A and B are shown apart, each in its own frame.
Chain A
């Protein structure tokens, strides 16, 4: 581990980030795709919230919890997708052999994918948060420090899942591609994005509380509905995220080792 840190090169990370940036800017459909779906989601949930709040006093007091939930969910979902798609681009391009044969270390590869996940997320989410102000008078940025705490926890989870999926892709080739697109949907019902944990059956609540994003969405509802920032929830989420990130990194290294043993790095097709 000490050797890995000592030999870490920001120059190599920058080289790979540059490669993904060139790709992104060369294709306007890729950029449009980053903005399109988050906008549709935000508009749909925003108008739904507007409708129910006009007809129910409880929802009138929820203060944009639906729009907040959909925007935070997109940070989680798009963060992982941004990570995994950049990785998939190497497989689509049949460039993985060149990357793996270069002096680039796995940790540098992962860091460059993390950076790209933030770049892709920013391109998609910043315009959508501005539209949320315009359409629904909901300012995500006004959450200030709380938003930073939510963001850090959500992006850490998304990276952990992205790292794990990338390991599976290395080991199993494009056969694991669908996981990259769908794995995060498993988190949608379990992390209680749109409803409180108390709604779940008692036994399922244990599962929900084992997932870091659950703390974030509960924390968001506490902030938007009860106007209380729950630092305790954020710290618990961070602790779970630390464990999840370490486990995902360990799994990635083991899957990479297994890919070398099975010769999968040579055949990254189906």
Chain B
């Protein structure tokens, strides 16, 4: 068995051209099962398109994205029930209560004993008092917790998170990170996390992939990146890459 077929996520020479230009330009990486990886990059770096291709929402122009051995989007229905995602670019229906939303998605994902699973997640994510309130009446932080609950309903083996703490206050964001760490520790899920938040990436990720203009500019552990660039924080490393100083620094 090659590394690609044993990885939870395997991306090979992935390319996506739109009419407006190239969003992803021949990237390759493999994420072992149970790993947590951060996908960093500025606006337009190609993070969201990469994640969308891994989810099967966007068809690659060339190359391949495999999740749990299934080629996306062609074989997506073999694995969609084993993965999930959370993104600030999608919402849950606002007029439905939290309980209704969670139970609809639990049924879509064929979650056994739906009521028990919702109770469990509500307790874990501090949603007990919100379960019978319309989702649209919740604060941004509460909505993020509900979206997180939706993404954990089926205990996914692969969890894709697109800026999971965007627009949250520092306290709520920290709380969400804590829950993600706990989920990873208990379920051993593979997590790919696109983020602009360097503190988040430093705290959660054991590996960081930095993208710029659709290409991978660097790919290593946070510690090795800091050492190689001679920087104190990932934010400084990110700025070096964003401003084109990475090549010199890496030398």
Contact = CB atoms under 8 A, between A and B. Distances in A.
Q: Chain A binding site: helix, strand, loop or mixed by DSSP? A: helix
Interface stretch (B86-94, B197-205, B239-247): B86-94
A16 to B, nearest CB: 7
A102 B80 contact: yes
Nearest to B61: A261
Nearest to B136: A93
Given A19-B93, A266-B52, A100 B105 contact: no
A89 B16 CA distance: 30
B29 interface: no
A178 interface: no
Interface in A76-134: 89, 93-98, 100-105
B96 A23 contact: yes
Interface string A1-39: 000000101011011101100110011000000000000
A132 to B, nearest CB: 32
Contacts of A260: 56-59, 73
Contacts of A97: 57, 87, 89-90
Contacts of A101: 55-57, 80, 84-85
Nearest to A23: B95
A101 to B, nearest CB: 5
A100 B89 CA distance: 13
Given A104-B108, A257-B59, A22 B100 contact: yes
Interface residues of A, number: 33
A94 B94 CA distance: 10
Contact of B18 (A9, A15, A95, A262): A262
Contacts of B85: 101
B95 A26 contact: yes
B227 interface: no
Interface of B: 16, 18-19, 23, 48-49, 52, 55-59, 73, 77, 80-81, 84-85, 87, 89-97, 100, 103-105, 107-110, 134, 150
11 contacts: A19-B96, A26-B95, A26-B96, A95-B90, A98-B92, A101-B56, A104-B108, A260-B58, A263-B18, A263-B58, A265-B57
Interface of A: 7, 9, 11-12, 14-16, 18-19, 22-23, 26-27, 89, 93-98, 100-105, 257, 260-263, 265-266
